[in-house]
Amino acid sequence: MDPTTLVNTLVAAWPLLWTGLQMTLFVTVVSLVVAMPLGVVTCLMNLSKFRALRGIAKFYIWLIRGTPMLVQGFYIYLAMPQLIQATIAPDFRIDVVTASVVTLILNAGAYASEIFRGAIQSVPDGQTEASRSLGVSHFKTMQKIVIPQAVRICLPSLVNQCIITLKDSTIMYAIGLPEIMNQAKVYVGRTFDSLATYTWVAVIFLIIISVLMIVSSQLEKRMRA
Amino acid sequence: MDKNNIKIHVEGLTKDFGDNHVLRGIDIDIHAGEVVCVIGPSGSGKSTFLRCLNRLEEATSGTITIDGASITDPKADVDKIRQHVGMVFQQFNLFPHYTVKQNIMFAPVELKLKSKEEAAATAERLLARVGLAEKIDAKPRSLSGGQQQRVAIARALAMDPDIMLFDEPTSALDPEMVGEVLDVMRELAQQGMTMVVVTHEMGFAREVADRVIFVDEGVIQEEGTPAEVMGNPQNPRTKSFLSKVL
């Protein structure tokens, strides 16, 4: 594989790869933006004193952790619409972008909620006790003492979850989302240029994820400072 | 002492952790300005007793009244009562994301008891009092254990409490830092603060306490002046404990 071929492939494949990359980034960003609040809500439900709320949160996390994402994607795109058509809405349709985003949201939300829970629980009880002993309410203690410390603890893990969601978005290739792998496959189908094309796909991911990893390690450094 | 200046009234206090009966019936009255040191072997229930006083632990049965307000009542306004009862912990528990000044200002400002300016002035005054004026903008982690504990005392004092609870305040400190914390506590006692101090510092108890109570097996085994309890103990358990620590 000489450098000229590599560069030529990038130039030729770029229109398709760029379209795919935009889709990849779009579904990743939209999913993460929705998944983070979902994770916070799930975490608060999980730590709630109401058993029903805890039950719902635990069931959701169990369901997501206990099934492969590929199965979830097929289920949401193909199986669930059949169920809905047969029961409540005969005309129900879901497009592949929506199905992919929903799958990624449900996944990242469940894992983010566990990250938040771990972070909140890793703030020592003494912090809560010190604040409550001063007469500060439970709510204010969470808001001003526990959550600010938990956020610092979980930032590196959250960046890591962003990396995972970005990579997981390629699984949606299997239900036909026109993301970067799908577009690369289209290009390879025309040219049989597997080596150079998939090398570029890998390089593109490496570049984006390296940036995120640098952000993560900077956050970790600042946390320790 | 007369009945009118009882700050803390404890009656029939018990506390179970599952099958473990940590407190088996504690009765005590603590008066305004009194310094009570609680001594006893580890696991005797002395810290649990202290933590029940501001309801960091829920009593299993019995009543605790602070300045006439029942804190064991399920409907009690616990936050309100706690505002007048400062607490100092073994592990300091300073807020690591705040500076020393912010640690001290936190509660008075959050509870809207003081303006930011007033709270800042209070913080400066209290830090001077505990000898840490120059550390006002430091982060807790940059301070020694003794310094952190003095800041923790200042943080509790910022609420203008009339009772202070100390839960083994010097147990986590290197020996050379114990003195500086005890000095601050001694000064507080001389200024008339009502104090309940769970401690292993027998010298401090002997010198500063108005009353020493010896707790073992979840009950008060013996109480009296330091001279009585430590100089001439009557209870065999007290004798045995003191022979090990003195």
Contact A201, A184 (CB under 8 A): yes
How would residue A152 be classed by pLDDT, with cut points 50, 70 and 90? confident
Residues of B in contact with A135 (CB under 8 A): 79-84, 107, 111, 159
**Fold exhibited by the domain A25-181:** MetI-like fold (1.10.3720)
pLDDT of residue B2: 52
SS3 assignment, position B71 = coil
pLDDT of residue A216: 85
pLDDT of residue A220: 81
- Out of A131, A140, A149, the one facing B97 most closely (by C-beta) is A149
Condensed to tens digits (0 to 9), the pLDDT of residues A92-131 reads 999 999 999 999 999 999 999 999 999 999 999 999 999 9
Task: Locate the domains of chain A by residue range.
Answer: 25-181
How would residue A77 be classed by pLDDT, with cut points 50, 70 and 90? very high
Condensed to tens digits (0 to 9), the pLDDT of residues A83-103 reads 999 999 899 999 999 999 999
Interface test with chain B among A133, A152, A153, A155, by most B beta carbons within 10 Å = A133
Look at B159 and A131 and tell me if their CB atoms are within 8 Å.
no
pLDDT of residue A223: 73
Contacts by residues B199-207 (CB-CB < 8 Å, ≥ 24 positions apart): B199/B37, B199/B38, B199/B39, B199/B166, B199/B168, B199/B169, B199/B170, B200/B39, B200/B168, B200/B170, B200/B171, B200/B245, B201/B170, B202/B39, B202/B230, B202/B242, B202/B245, B202/B246, B204/B37, B205/B37, B205/B39, B205/B230, B206/B230
Q: Which tokens hold the place of B154?
A: 């200042």
Instruction: Residue B218: name the closest of B41, B5, B6, B30 by CA.
Output: B41
Look at B86 and A144 and tell me if their CB atoms are within 8 Å.
no
Q: Is the pLDDT of residue A1 over 70?
A: no
Provide ipTM, 2 decimals.
0.93
Residues of A in contact with B89 (CB under 8 A): 126, 129-130
pLDDT of residue A151: 87
pLDDT of residue A49: 87
Task: Kindly state whether B156 is in contact with chain A, defined as any CB-CB distance less than 8 angstroms.
Answer: yes
Look at B56 and A126 and tell me if their CB atoms are within 8 Å.
no
Residues of A in contact with B95 (CB under 8 A): 127, 130-131, 145
Q: Which tokens hold the place of B183?
A: 């000095």
Please name the residue of chain A whose CA is at the shortest distance from the CA of residue B161: A134
Q: Which tokens hold the place of B111?
A: 């509870």
pLDDT of residue B4: 66
Give CA–CA dist B118/B121, Å, rounded: 5
The reply to whether the predicted model has a pTM over 0.90 is: no
Condensed to tens digits (0 to 9), the pLDDT of residues A32-75 reads 999 999 999 999 999 988 999 999 999 999 999 999 999 999 99
- Mean per-residue pLDDT, A165-189: 96
Chain mean pLDDT for chain A: 93
pLDDT of residue A4: 86
Look at A135 and B56 and tell me if their CB atoms are within 8 Å.
no
- Out of B82, B95, B96, the one facing A133 most closely (by C-beta) is B82
Condensed to tens digits (0 to 9), the pLDDT of residues A200-213 reads 999 999 999 999 99
Phi, psi of B158 (to 5 degrees): -65, -20
Q: Which portions of chain B are predicted below pLDDT 70?
A: 1-4
Look at A135 and B96 and tell me if their CB atoms are within 8 Å.
no
Buried b (16+ CB within 10 A) or exposed e, A169-182: bbbbbebebbbbbb
Q: Is the pLDDT of residue A225 over 70?
A: no
Chain mean pLDDT for chain B: 94
- Mean per-residue pLDDT, A192-202: 93
pLDDT of residue B112: 94
